Amino acid sequence: MVVLCIPCLMWLRKAKQTFVFDQVNSPPIPSLLLEFSAPVKLDYSYTDEQLALLMQYASNDFAR
């Protein structure tokens, strides 16, 4: 089951940060770098299933 939530902006300012989500049944799948136009190298280990969900539900063309 996929539940879409209200988008929120989270600042990623450090190489490693921790965010806590209460009342979430499964780990969230981050959709990173939305509306970002500058060249960026991003190393995030998405599974094939997570990438398929992002392709299906992301509202942003770049995220898909």
- pLDDT, one tens digit for every residue, the chain (64 residues): 555 666 677 788 888 888 887 887 888 888 887 777 788 888 889 999 999 988 888 877 777 7
Q: What is the pTM of this model?
A: 0.62
Distance CA 36, CA 62 (A): 8
DSSP classification of residue 18: -
CA–CA separation, 13 and 56 (whole Å): 28
- Of all helices (H) and strands (E), which one includes residue 58? none
DSSP 34: T
